[in-house]
């Protein structure tokens, strides 16, 4: 990709998070790129939203050209935007920026500087239109109510789970966080949720009531039968109010069973729901890189992009059943995370941890700063700042290796292992 174009796009990151929709709406209007030109499914949540968006995309793509918009990427920017079975090419990114530079710059004069995510969102929508996608699965970037993706009016809204993350932006209570996530609920559009915590669920139901939107609770709607779980994936029968499905998924972890149930519940409640065969086939072909992903067997190496305490707890629950030997944990964290709670949540999995640096220069936390915290929690702590050296050290520990803490660390290991970045087999 043209370095000048990529540098320009990434320079917009310096604007950070801007919690309003004025600029993204302005860009949509001035570029003529309207999300009304495709059907969409909108997925929010603290954890599980990427996996669920991936599942929706894979099922819909079995019959019609479908787009997938997710963030962040593991290795290459192009991973964020997929149409059919192809990542957005460098040539389209370059052409888009050159073509719409004036519209981007004009927002700076009449409104404020557009952010990286706002421009990327409009670029994604443009790519989906230009490549003929009739349907798109869209993952919320942050929150929901004021996220740049929230200019769409989807056929179904999905809220996976609510937990504590980005409290400085979304609020410090489950109610306030749920309120932001529930901001994706549109007038009369059904909302599917896997959330069960009373405080968060009440808020979702409250907002849905205001919007006259039916609430579909996954735990009540979809029943799981005959589950067989392993590191290779999950097999089970999903029984809903409308049908029954024989599911074989290569996405391991019982939490993925919940994400699959959420996706099925959403797909069944689309205006034109997919067939049983398409749902079973789409789920069987889906994979979500960097999420409880087995990338090596000798020794066992599992990558998981858990980066907040709820995700760490979910990861521990999944691995306790799948990995019998005590692993060594390789962790990198960003500066805005709750280190103590995250490292404490991981502790039931192992007493051995290696602290390293994620590949995010401006936001990566110095692992030396994490060491005093880790020493209060773990019996064996090593700090190796270079992530490549840290990974090599972990591989020589005669134990399974779990890499977690930041998607920017997962990306480094994916590249080292030459592991596929596509969300399908």
CATH of the domain at 402: 3.90.190.20
Query: 285, 313, 346: which is the final residue of a domain?
Result: 285
The number of domains in the chain is 2
Q: Computed over its alpha carbons, how large is the radius of gyration of the chain?
A: 21
- pTM for the predicted model, two decimal places: 0.93
Nearest Cα neighbor of 383 from 358, 412, 422, 353 is: 353
Is residue 425 one of the residues assigned to a domain?
no
SS3 sequence of 83-149:
ECCEECCHHHHHHHHHHHHHHHHHHHHHCCCCCHHHHHHHHHHHHHHHCCCCEEEEECCCCCCCCHH
pLDDT digits (tens, 9 = 90+) for 24-73: 999 999 999 999 999 999 999 988 999 999 999 999 999 999 999 999 99
Is residue 398 one of the residues assigned to a domain?
yes
**Whether residues 104 and 186 fall in one domain:** yes
**Whether residues 165 and 206 fall in one domain:** yes
pLDDT digits (tens, 9 = 90+) for 307-333: 889 889 989 999 998 998 999 999 999
Query: 255, 285, 315: which is the final residue of a domain?
Result: 285
**Whether residues 122 and 262 fall in one domain:** yes
Q: Residue 365 belongs to what domain range?
A: 293-417
pLDDT digits (tens, 9 = 90+) for 187-231: 999 999 999 999 999 999 999 999 999 999 999 999 999 999 999
Secondary element (H or E) of residue 29: helix 22-31
**Whether residues 68 and 215 fall in one domain:** yes
**Whether residues 118 and 155 fall in one domain:** yes
Q: How far is CA 241 from the centre of its chain?
A: 28
Nearest Cα neighbor of 258 from 171, 182, 192 is: 192
| 216 or 111, which is more confident | 216
CA–CA dist 26, 102 (Å, integer): 12
Judge contact between 295 and 419, C-beta under 8 A: yes
């Amino acid at each position: 990709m043209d370095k000048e174009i990529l540098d320009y796009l990434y320079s917009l990151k310096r604007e950070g998070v801007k919690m309003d929709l004025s600029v993204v709406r302005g860009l949509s209007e001035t570029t003529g790129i309207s999300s009304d030109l495709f059907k969409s499914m909108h997925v929010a949540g603290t954890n599980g939203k990427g996996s669920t968006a991936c599942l929706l995309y894979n099922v819909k793509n079995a019959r019609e050209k479908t787009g997938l918009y997710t963030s962040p990427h593991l290795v290459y920017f192009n991973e964020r935007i997929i149409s059919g079975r192809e990542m957005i090419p460098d040539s389209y990114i370059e052409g888009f920026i050159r073509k719409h530079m004036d519209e981007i710059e004009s927002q700076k004069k009449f409104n404020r500087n557009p952010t990286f995510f706002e421009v990327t969102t409009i670029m994604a929508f443009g790519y989906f239109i230009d490549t003929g996608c009739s349907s798109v699965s869209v993952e919320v970037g942050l929150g929901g109510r004021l996220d740049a993706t929230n200019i769409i009016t989807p056929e179904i809204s999905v809220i996976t789970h609510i937990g504590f993350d980005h409290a400085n932006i979304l609020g410090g209570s489950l109610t306030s966080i749920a309120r932001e996530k529930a901001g994706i609920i549109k007038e009369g559009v059904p909302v599917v949720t896997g959330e069960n915590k009373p405080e968060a669920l009440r808020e979702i139901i409250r907002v849905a009531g205001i919007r006259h939107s039916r609430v579909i609770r996954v735990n009540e709607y979809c029943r799981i039968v005959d589950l067989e779980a392993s590191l290779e994936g999950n097999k089970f029968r999903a029984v809903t109010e409308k049908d029954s499905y024989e599911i074989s998924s290569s996405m391991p972890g019982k939490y993925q069973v919940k994400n699959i149930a959420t996706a099925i519940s959403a797909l069944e409640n689309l205006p034109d729901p997919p067939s049983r065969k398409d749902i079973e086939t789409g789920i069987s072909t889906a994979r979500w890189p960097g999420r409880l992903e087995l990338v090596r067997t000798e020794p066992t190496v599992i990558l998981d992009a858990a980066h907040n305490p709820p995700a760490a707890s979910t990861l521990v629950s999944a691995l306790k059943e799948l990995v019998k030997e005590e692993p060594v944990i390789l962790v990198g964290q960003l500066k805005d995370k709750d280190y103590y709670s995250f490292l404490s949540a991981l502790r039931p999995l192992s007493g051995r941890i290696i602290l390293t640096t994620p590949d995010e220069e401006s936001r990566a936390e110095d692992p030396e700063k994490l060491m005093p915290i880790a020493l209060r929690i773990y019996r064996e702590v090593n700090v190796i700042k270079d992530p490549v050296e840290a990974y090599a050290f972990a591989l020589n520990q005669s134990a399974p290796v779990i890499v977690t803490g930041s998607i920017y660390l997962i990306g480094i290991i994916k590249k080292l292992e030459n592991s596929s970045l596509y969300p399908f087999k």
